[in-house]
Amino acid sequence: MSIKQLTGIRSIRTLYLQLLYRCNYNCLHCFHGENLKRRDRITATQAFEIMSHFVSEYATSRVVLLGGEPFLHDAIVPITAGAHDRGLYTEICTNGHQVVRRKLTYMVDTLDRLRVSLDGLREAHDDIRKAGSYDDAVKTIKHAIDLGLKVGVTLTVTSRNVEDLPQLVEEIADLGVGELKLHQLRPVGNAEGRTDLLVEDKSTIQASLERCSSRLELVLDDDLIDLLDGLPAHCDQDADPEESLARIEMSPDGALTMSCKAVGRNAHAFVWDLAEGGIEYVPSENSEIALAIPDVRYVTLTRS
């Protein structure tokens, strides 16, 4: 049974395609956790088939390539070109390590946006990710902007970086970054049980955001907005009809997750058959459909 048949969903705006679990980092908040050790990967041929399916069956218009670390995939350049050839707005999420800079030159005409993870200023970022990773990510941001690419930054809000936000906004705006996307920490994978990473005083988040300048766009997932009091924002997805889905995410083993809140929880109701192609329904009392897990919606702060 297809997604369309079971749910009535006829269009899916964005496909998040995890190409592999493998990563050169082991971040404190990574939702993959032990899966980082797995060798599963989606081949270029499979990626082309998957993207073509979603374009033709669900009018998908955007693809976000991620991992693990997508630039460790040996076919990241042709996969990006294949997405572009299918008319997809193409974005890649990366940790910004040095391998990225070597490959970006070949992707200038096929990549619409590079999104680099920065989890605070240097001390916090390196503590969460890896020593020296902050400087590496900044070099990659500069290189991408020099190539004429549009660059965004993503950050998971934790106790280690929440107070860095105002200064981080200034520093990445100076580099030419146009958007900072903030995510709520979800206690799965490496973050399971890491209560030390949680921001206990939610007013700290609001105070930090209120000190951020309007030099770039701030996009927050609505779980963060729900914690705040009265900050003006508009929803980027409030026009979606019931027959439309904002996003769907496929893991390297083919599992398809419709809600960002279900990613990393083994709660998928559908799977892509990597051997034969096509989507299969895998009923379970613990699936995101059975549990009615809502999706995350993104909102943009309105600031003068």
Give the range among 157-171, 176-190, 238-252 with minimum mean pLDDT. 238-252
SS3 248: strand
Global pTM reads 0.94
For 48-93, write each residue's pLDDT tens digit: 999 999 999 999 999 999 999 999 999 999 999 999 999 999 999 9
Q: What is the CATH number of the domain that holds 180?
A: 3.20.20.70
Closest to 225 measured CA to CA, from 235, 213, 217: 235
Give me the domain span that covers residue 61.
Answer: 3-301
Write the single-letter amino acid at 110. Answer: T
Helix or strand holding residue 12 (H, E)? strand 11-18
For 87-96, write each residue's pLDDT tens digit: 999 999 999 9
Number of domains in the chain: 1
